[in-house]
Amino acid sequence: MSFCLRLLACVLLLAAVPVASARAGEPAAVLATYAYTRYDRAAALQPLAEHLQRRLGRAVEVRVLESPRALAAALRDGTVDAAVTNTFVYLGVRDLPAIRAAAVFDVPPATLDAYRGVLVARRDGPAATMAAVQAGAARLRYAQVIPGSTSGGLVQDLFLASRGLSTAQFASTRQAGTHEAALAAVVEGSADLAAFADAPWQARQREGRAGDLVELWRSPPIPPGPLVCRDGGRIDCARLASLLAALHDDAPAALAAVVAAWSEAAGATRLIPVEAAPYDALTAGFADAAAGRAALDKLL
């Protein structure tokens, strides 16, 4: 074999070695999210972690925490370097000096319009109007999806808080587990009032089966939670933002895997910079920004 061929073979061999091995003693960066029953989010994030590992030159570990609240806490205490959030988590951490919004899904208008939360009650029940909810909260059974669900609890709780109500004032608050189960609770009468995503509610109306229920409130479109980075951690946030902006070209399969595990990202084909206005709109019902911030802190 000629010298040039031997040299080329050595270069190719070195290129095949995982970049993380060059820093074997360095602790892995942590890319995290929260668990949701419908999706295997560890598998969904693994291709992205592998892409980041190759480009950043260090090991990247995927971690799936038990809830959005746990993810927000991990971002606050620095045990997570980057995360795929939901809107609940992002609203709770975006004012922290160390948190940087790296990118967000560029979702089609139809997806954005469909991602809303609703409050629904039985038409013949004790929560059939908002006035009845406010007057009789202490006697009402409230169903939500999971702790920290944006469309299945957060936006509804923010709306209720803007009306002077908190979940502590209800006779009971139940976590149903899925949006469909929260809807079923109010249909079956085991809950007087339920918070869940707009999609199953729209489906029930299309099927002509919504006559026994009444919609008390429907949120504005909810922007999806962005991918965030923690300054001073094991990932350079500016570098991460650059890699995510090019993900649709450099690792389209990794982007598709993440999109497939978040229904609110359906149809997204790239990641784009984050704008503040759509998130500000979610607390616009409060008298001032401080009141909205206080309500968010209480929910977290």
Choosing from 185, 218, 251, the residue where a domain stops is 218
Q: Tell whether 38 and 127 lie within a shared domain.
A: no
Choosing from 186, 218, 250, the residue where a domain stops is 218
Q: Tell whether 74 and 92 lie within a shared domain.
A: yes
Q: Which residue has the tokens 């270069």?
A: 11
Instruction: Tell me, rounded to whole angstroms, the distance of Cα 27 from its chain centroid.
Output: 26
Q: Is residue 153 part of a domain?
A: yes
CATH number reported for the structural domain that contains residue 194 in this entry: 3.40.190.10
Residue 1 CB contacts under 8 Å (≥ 6 apart), including other chains: 9
Q: Is residue 3 part of a domain?
A: no
Three-state DSSP state, 122 = strand
Q: Is residue 262 part of a domain?
A: yes
**pLDDT score of 296:** 78
Tell me which of 18 and 76 has the higher pLDDT.
76
> Which stretch of 15-24, 108-117, 153-162 has the lowest confidence by average pLDDT?
15-24
Q: Average pLDDT of the chain?
A: 90
Q: How confident is the model at residue 24 (pLDDT cuts 50, 70, 90)?
A: low
Helix orientation angle between 252-260 and 41-56, rounded to the nearest 10 degrees: 150
**Residue 38: other Cβ atoms inside 10 A:** 9
Q: Tell whether 212 and 232 lie within a shared domain.
A: no
> Which two structure tokens, joined as six digits, stand for 232?
């001073």
CA distances from 281 to 5, 85, 192, 240, 273 (A): 62, 18, 28, 27, 18
Q: Tell whether 202 and 252 lie within a shared domain.
A: no
Q: Is residue 168 part of a domain?
A: yes
Q: Is residue 8 part of a domain?
A: no
Q: Tell whether 231 and 290 lie within a shared domain.
A: yes
Q: Tell whether 65 and 128 lie within a shared domain.
A: no
Q: Tell whether 32 and 98 lie within a shared domain.
A: yes
Q: What is the DSSP string of 50-61?
A: HHHHHHHTS-EE
The pTM assigned to this predicted structure is 0.79
pLDDT at 213 over 50: yes
- Which of these, 271, 294, 273, lies nearest to 283 by C-alpha position? 294
Give the tens place of pLDDT for each residue, 30-63: 999 999 888 999 999 999 999 999 999 999 999 9
Q: Tell whether 214 and 228 lie within a shared domain.
A: no
Give the tens place of pLDDT for each residue, 76-92: 999 999 999 999 899 98
**pLDDT score of 23:** 58
Q: Tell whether 132 and 164 lie within a shared domain.
A: yes
**pLDDT score of 7:** 37
Choosing from 153, 187, 218, the residue where a domain stops is 218
Q: Tell whether 264 and 234 lie within a shared domain.
A: yes
Range of the domain at 176: 116-218
Q: How confident is the model at residue 110 (pLDDT cuts 50, 70, 90)?
A: very high
Domain count, the chain: 2
Q: Is residue 177 part of a domain?
A: yes
Q: Tell whether 127 and 211 lie within a shared domain.
A: yes
Q: Tell whether 173 and 146 lie within a shared domain.
A: yes
**pLDDT score of 284:** 79
Q: Is residue 10 part of a domain?
A: no
Instruction: Tell me, rounded to whole angstroms, the distance of Cα 224 from its chain centroid.
Output: 6
Q: Is residue 7 part of a domain?
A: no
Q: Which residue has the tokens 């620095």?
A: 78
